[in-house]
Chains A and B, each alone.
Chain A
Amino acid sequence: MTSTSPAFVPNPTIEINEVSKWFGQKVAVSNVSCSFGPGITGLLGPNGAGKTTLLRMMAGLSQPSRGNLTVLDTNPRRDVSVFQRIGLVPEDDAVYGFLTGRGFVEYGARLAGVKDPAAAAAHAITAVGMDEAAGRAIGGYSKGMRQRIKVAGALVNDPEVLFLDEPLNGADPVQRVRLIELFHQLAREGRTVVVSSHVLEEVEKMANRVIAMVDGRLAAAGDSAAIRAAFTDIPYRVRIDADEPRKLGSALLGRDVIRSVEVIDETLHVQTDDLGDLGRLLPSLAQSLDIRLTMVQPEDLSLESVFRYLVHGR
């Protein structure tokens, strides 16, 4: 893979070079090369795809079996000083239940060597909207509250690089919106935010770039439209709402740009190899046939569709 590949970004903060990780006979990550830079990047894949393993290697929790990676030009397994500039929200529901929320975040601040741990903790707790519950023991928190206090714990040292493993687990819809806005804010501030998730909707809302993994390998990279465009052998599906769908469908049949035409519940669905050509053809054809178009919408540009192609190949 070359540096012009969508798997790589200019001015990267995280560089992964031919990294593999295996546990005994099981290969969890296989020969992955890519890079991450400022902004939010979604690490996407089904359960068991290797995204958590890759995230853990980036965060310094485990080391590659082969290959190398650097975070902020440092190997996190060799130089612990880089942890001053990194934050991690782990997937596991792992918290010190006997500590209060404030005590937990302050503990993290002290370990990170923050100058004023109490002030930094208060700031991080406010950022995740946990002020009221901060004095209570974490053991009594709901899952969503634990998730938010974990995020506060990761933010307390003001990290340049933030790793989030399934960060919205357990959060209710209001909390989700708030956390997503917080992550966007961090990205706008120029931080590198890597979000691992198997919930496509979440990734789509958060990330403007996606690294997709399937079976431990890097399957695709870029935004969802770019990844979709790479599937040249799979035609695009387009929904067309018109006042005379059958007439329009008949007119489209036989055109080079059209692979198939189908009318379902008075809605026209076509398959095409080239969205651009179809976009140019449709208005003139509709005008010549005196057909009114009310909606033209690609049906498989969403991350969900892209993901389905990646995992199932269809």
Chain B
Amino acid sequence: MTRFLAIVRVTVYQLIGRRRSIGLLLLAAVPGLILLLVGLNEADRETAEFFRTGLLWLVLGVTTPIIAIVLGSASMGDERAYKTISYLALRPIRRETIAAAKLTAAWLASFLVAGGGAVLAGVVFGVTTGSWEETLAIAAAAAITALGFTAVMQAAGYITDRAVIIGLAYLLIWEGIVTSAASQVATTSIWRMGVSAYAGITGEIADMEDLLSGVLPGAWGAMLKVLGLAAASVLALGYLMRDRDLVN
């Protein structure tokens, strides 16, 4: 096992092994349960419309970002909070390699939890409407959204122990209010990158104009954007680990 994989493995255990995972799993399951209620009470057409508007917003704009904010902040934040960072950092490993491994782990953990919820919603949708193509699309969109938020939050988790609060404020104010009100900055919205990927994969754009807020649909474009965020995050964390003290 390489050093990279060793860090990924231990970090995934570290992130999802804690009690907070139960709360995050319950949060991830909420959209699927809501969709189940809608599907049982509405016709297929209304259920499909709800899926592409309200549910997509709930999964990509609320639950996946919250889960990714918590786990992305914790990937380095836990090492500092529990003072285990010396075991990780005082090793002959490039700081960027550590940062990339931690981000990979945070993304995997976020995707396991949030993506699980997204797949659950897709399955509920498939069972209630008989249409299954949305399942893959929402899982891919959740993966892209999770990577974007974990990338942004990882360095924040290293700098401050209030990263989760800052992340939630960012989600509410910038992602929720500012980018919805001003379409000029909507392309910077991470959760809309997920929506863009979903729209690109399914080709269903008609019901989703409000969610997109002018962002063009396209899975590849969304993927490139979050990969750019991930690369910037790795470089930023690598720099911070060299420049700042590893312990307070």
A interface residues (Cβ-Cβ under 8 A, vs B): 56, 59-63, 77, 80-84, 86, 88, 90, 92-96, 98-99, 107-108, 110-113, 153
B6 at the interface (CB under 8 A from A): yes
**Chain B interface: which size bin?**
20 to 34
Residues 1-54 of B at the A interface (beta carbon under 8 Å): 1, 3, 6-7, 10, 13-14, 17
B181 at the interface (CB under 8 A from A): no
Minimum CB–CB distance for B234 against chain A, Å: 16
Contact: A62 with B245, CB < 8 Å? yes
Give Cα A98–Cα B7 distance, bound, in whole angstroms. 14
Minimum CB–CB distance for B92 against chain A, Å: 4
Contact: A83 with B83, CB < 8 Å? no
When the two chains form the complex, which single residue of A62, A84, A99 contacts B10, counting CB atoms closer than 8 Å? A99
B89 at the interface (CB under 8 A from A): yes
B206 at the interface (CB under 8 A from A): no
Minimum CB–CB distance for B155 against chain A, Å: 19
**Can you offer 6 A-B residue contacts whose CB atoms are under 8 A?**
A60-B89, A61-B246, A83-B92, A88-B86, A107-B87, A111-B6
When the two chains form the complex, which single residue of A61, A77, A98 contacts B242, counting CB atoms closer than 8 Å? A77
B93 at the interface (CB under 8 A from A): yes
Residues 84-130 of B at the A interface (beta carbon under 8 Å): 84-95
> Known: A90-B83, A113-B3. Contact between A96 and B10, CB under 8 A?
yes
When the two chains form the complex, which single residue of A61, A86, A110 contacts B3, counting CB atoms closer than 8 Å? A110
Contact: A112 with B83, CB < 8 Å? no
Contact: A56 with B247, CB < 8 Å? yes
Q: Which residue of A lies closest to B6 (CB)?
A: A110
Contact: B84 with A96, CB < 8 Å? yes
Which A residues are in CB contact (< 8 Å) with B92? Answer: 80-84, 112-113
Contact: A80 with B95, CB < 8 Å? yes
Give Cα A82–Cα B7 distance, bound, in whole angstroms. 20
Contact: A111 with B7, CB < 8 Å? yes
Contact: A59 with B245, CB < 8 Å? no
> Known: A61-B247, A96-B10. Contact between A111 and B83, CB under 8 A?
no
When the two chains form the complex, which single residue of B1, B14, B95, B247 contacts A110, counting CB atoms closer than 8 Å? B1
Give Cα A61–Cα B82 distance, bound, in whole angstroms. 15
> Known: A96-B14, A98-B17, A110-B3. Contact between A90 and B91, CB under 8 A?
no
Which B residues are in CB contact (< 8 Å) with A88? Answer: 86, 90
Give Cα A110–Cα B7 distance, bound, in whole angstroms. 9
Q: Which residue of B lies closest to A109 (CB)?
A: B6
Q: Which residue of A lies closest to B82 (CB)?
A: A94
Which B residues are in CB contact (< 8 Å) with A90? Answer: 83, 86
Query: Apart from A61-B85, A80-B95, A110-B6, what are 5 other A-B pairs with CB-CB below 8 Å?
Result: A59-B90, A60-B246, A88-B86, A96-B84, A113-B92
When the two chains form the complex, which single residue of B6, B13, B83, B87 contacts A98, counting CB atoms closer than 8 Å? B13
Which A residues are in CB contact (< 8 Å) with B14? Answer: 96, 98
Contact: B6 with A107, CB < 8 Å? yes
> Known: A96-B14, A110-B3, A113-B3. Contact between A61 and B89, CB under 8 A?
yes
Which A residues are in CB contact (< 8 Å) with B10? Answer: 96, 99, 107
Which A residues are in CB contact (< 8 Å) with B245? Answer: 56, 61-63
Give Cα A83–Cα B6 distance, bound, in whole angstroms. 17
Give Cα A99–Cα B10 distance, bound, in whole angstroms. 8
Q: Which residue of B lies closest to A112 (CB)?
A: B91
Most buried by B among A59, A83, A96, A98: A96
Give Cα A94–Cα B14 distance, bound, in whole angstroms. 13
When the two chains form the complex, which single residue of A61, A84, A95, A112 contacts B84, counting CB atoms closer than 8 Å? A95
Q: Which residue of A lies closest to B81 (CB)?
A: A94
Q: Which residue of B lies closest to A150 (CB)?
A: B87
> Known: A96-B10, A113-B3. Contact between A59 and B91, CB under 8 A?
no
Give Cα A181–Cα B91 distance, bound, in whole angstroms. 26
> Known: A61-B86, A96-B14, A98-B14. Contact between A111 and B246, CB under 8 A?
no
> Known: A90-B86, A96-B84, A108-B87. Contact between A80 and B93, CB under 8 A?
yes
Which A residues are in CB contact (< 8 Å) with B17? Answer: 98
Q: Which residue of B lies closest to A153 (CB)?
A: B87
Give Cα A83–Cα B98 distance, bound, in whole angstroms. 14
Which B residues are in CB contact (< 8 Å) with A62? Answer: 245-247
Q: B63-96 vs A: 1/0 string, CB under 8 Å?
A: 0000000000000000000111111111111110
Contact: A111 with B86, CB < 8 Å? no
Minimum CB–CB distance for B233 against chain A, Å: 20
Give Cα A81–Cα B7 distance, bound, in whole angstroms. 18
> Known: A96-B84, A98-B17, A107-B6. Contact between A61 and B1, CB under 8 A?
no
Q: Which residue of B lies closest to A57 (CB)?
A: B245
Give Cα A311–Cα B93 distance, bound, in whole angstroms. 41
Which A residues are in CB contact (< 8 Å) with B246? Answer: 60-62
Give Cα A190–Cα B210 distance, bound, in whole angstroms. 70
